[in-house]
């Protein structure tokens, strides 16, 4: 493992240099990797592993839209595409990439096929960590581990096709064979990770739920709405408000942060922007810290898990979700966003050559 200094704290991480793809193939040489679920992470991880030369099959409910998508992606019914239970029978590593609600619903069936010597894989620590609410308790005699890409399935596949990777965490919950850790790392490399850092199932889900509700999605959307609404209330046009709130962030500044860090981006913007950002940064940090503390406590106590499980169990959840998403979609801010995106040069049709 490579020892890396992360801002004064030294961590050990696994890179492709010390654990190359060839080694991952050796570890998985006799394994049948059964991807259960072909929704969000399933397609990306399955296709990446197939392209990397691993023995992959898909388990999915026949007749569903995702079954049809799997066929479009080249999986063949009866050869590499099966109903969930048949995939569980054939697989030696059951890669449970179903939704959290789907994992709860199918657990009795999946558990029945976890015979000694098999392995159970996750990309999220939810089901295991909150087992008192999900009922997901693996039997003895099986390895249980995870590799969790730090990005959406779309990004996992896109980065792979571009020759890049996406960072992942890995963890071992149960090591029956003495080789669970090696399998976890090999699977992370197989799905195209750039590098892997070690964690636990509990820490993975605590950080993941906090991140999704916080900076990655919830807080980001909320802050954007607050600034956009303020600018509109002060008489700025939708185009101006959206560009100053979202477009400049996503099309310019965040790319600089990704390439070189926030400090570099600060050092390479105008002196006016520098002064203002430095003066206001701490106020935003101090204002949001109590919210983040409440959020983490809600995750840590299992409250967020309870809310998620109860919501998904409601028969009308899907209809209610569509209404909530429609509010965002139909808001002036994101309607303005659609118009702005359409005006990007790459989205405008070239003038016909006469």
300 token code pair: 């840590």
Quickly list DSSP for 175-206. -SSS-HHHHHHHHHHHTTEEEEEE--HHHHHH
**What angle is formed at CA 114 by the lines to CA 174 and CA 14, rounded to 5 degrees?**
40
Residues 72, 75, 79, 84: is their CA dihedral positive or negative?
A: negative
| Burial class of residue 45 (count of CB atoms within 10 Å of its CB; 0-12, 13-18, 19+) | buried
Catalytic pick among 124, 131, 236, 329: 124
Q: Would you say the C-alpha torsion 35, 214, 224, 253 has a positive or negative sign?
A: negative
Tokens of 33: 């990797």
236 labelled catalytic:
no
CA 81 remoteness from chain centre: 24
State the Cα torsion 120-121-124-129 to the nearest 10°: 30
User: Which residues are tagged catalytic?
Assistant: 124
């Amino acid at each position: 493992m490579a020892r890396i200094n992360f801002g004064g704290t030294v961590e050990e991480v696994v890179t492709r240099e010390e654990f190359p793809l060839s080694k991952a193939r050796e570890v998985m040489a006799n394994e049948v990797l059964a991807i259960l679920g072909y929704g969000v992470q399933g397609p990306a991880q399955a296709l990446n592993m197939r392209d990397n030369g691993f023995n992959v099959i898909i388990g999915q409910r026949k007749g569903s839209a995702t079954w049809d998508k799997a066929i479009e992606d080249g999986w063949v019914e009866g050869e590499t595409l099966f109903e969930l239970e048949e995939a569980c029978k054939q697989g030696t590593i059951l890669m449970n990439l179903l939704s959290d609600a789907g994992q709860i619903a199918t657990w009795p069936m999946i558990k029945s096929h976890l015979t000694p010597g098999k392995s159970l894989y996750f990309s999220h620590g939810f089901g295991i960590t909150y087992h008192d609410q999900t009922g997901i308790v693996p039997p003895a005699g099986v390895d249980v581990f995870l590799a969790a890409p730090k990005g959406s399935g779309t990004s996992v596949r896109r980065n792979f096709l571009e020759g890049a990777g996406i960072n992942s965490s890995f963890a071992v919950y149960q090591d029956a064979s003495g080789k669970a850790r090696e399998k976890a790392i090999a699977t992370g490399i197989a799905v195209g990770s750039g590098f892997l850092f070690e964690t636990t199932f509990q820490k993975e889900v605590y950080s993941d739920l906090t991140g999704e509700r916080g900076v990655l999605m919830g807080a980001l959307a909320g802050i954007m709405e607050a600034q956009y609404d303020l600018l509109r209330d002060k008489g700025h046009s939708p185009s101006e408000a959206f560009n100053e709130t979202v477009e400049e962030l996503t099309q310019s500044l965040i790319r600089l942060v990704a390439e070189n860090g926030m400090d570099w981006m600060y050092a390479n913007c105008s002196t006016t922007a520098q002064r203002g950002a430095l003066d206001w940064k701490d106020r935003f940090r101090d204002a949001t810290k109590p919210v983040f503390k409440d959020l983490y406590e809600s995750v840590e106590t299992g409250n967020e898990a309870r809310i998620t499980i109860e919501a998904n169990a409601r028969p009308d959840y899907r209809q209610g979700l569509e209404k909530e998403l429609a509010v965002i979609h139909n808001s002036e801010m994101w309607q303005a966003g659609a118009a702005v995106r359409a005006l990007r040069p790459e989205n405008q049709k070239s003038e016909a050559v006469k």
